[in-house]
Amino acid sequence: MHSIEPHYNWRTLYCAEEDPRSPLYGREYSEFEFQNHVYDHYIHPQWDEIGSQTLYLKQLYTDYTEGYVILELIGEWNDCLYNDVMVLKRDFIELLIGEGISKFILVGENVLNFHASDDCYYEEWFDEASDQGGWIALVNFRDHVIADMQDANIDSYLVMGGKVNEIDWRTMHPHQFYQKVERFVQRRLDA
């Protein structure tokens, strides 16, 4: 896992550590010092620690005018043991919502497992985003992770699966990626 880096092709367009409105503003990174880990597997030092023991992220791009953020995740999403959704929601998402972000794209190619608890924080996040005309979309999560989320009945708060889970996003400009996801979300909402 230590060799898996967050997507870096958009770094010329946006760096969260240089954005005074980002929860990650002012962070400094090492290319050589591996400190964070998921269980006994170290992860690349470019991933951001958010207070979870098993889930890390990278804020790849934020557009405050359009009100969206693209987050890439790595690790294990464990609500059962560590209440990761609470940590993510309280310590990260709420700060972005306070800055006018209501549309959340979560890229989950590197989320290895999901362990559910209750749906309270998903419902709260969904309500706050949708009150501002927003949504939460999960892109390219592994099939077994999606199945576990559906089994926990949190899929009513998140747009996931189907074509939204097959986007070749790394070849796109972030705004093109956002527009593609938004089209899928609108089709689901209109259905």
Query: What pLDDT was estimated at residue 40?
Result: 82
Q: Which parts of the chain register pLDDT below 70?
A: 1
Domains (range + CATH), the chain: 16-190 (3.30.750.24)
Query: What pLDDT was estimated at residue 37?
Result: 82
Per DSSP bridges, beta strands 41-42 and 37-38 are antiparallel
Query: What pLDDT was estimated at residue 108?
Result: 98
Query: What pLDDT was estimated at residue 1?
Result: 63
Indicate the length of the chain as a whole number. 191
pLDDT, tens digit (0-9, with 9 covering 90-100), for 33-89? 887 888 888 898 999 999 999 999 999 999 999 999 999 999 999 999 999 999 999
Query: What pLDDT was estimated at residue 34?
Result: 82
Q: Buried b / exposed e across 56-71, counting CB within 10 Å, b at 16+?
A: bbbbbbbbeeebbbbb
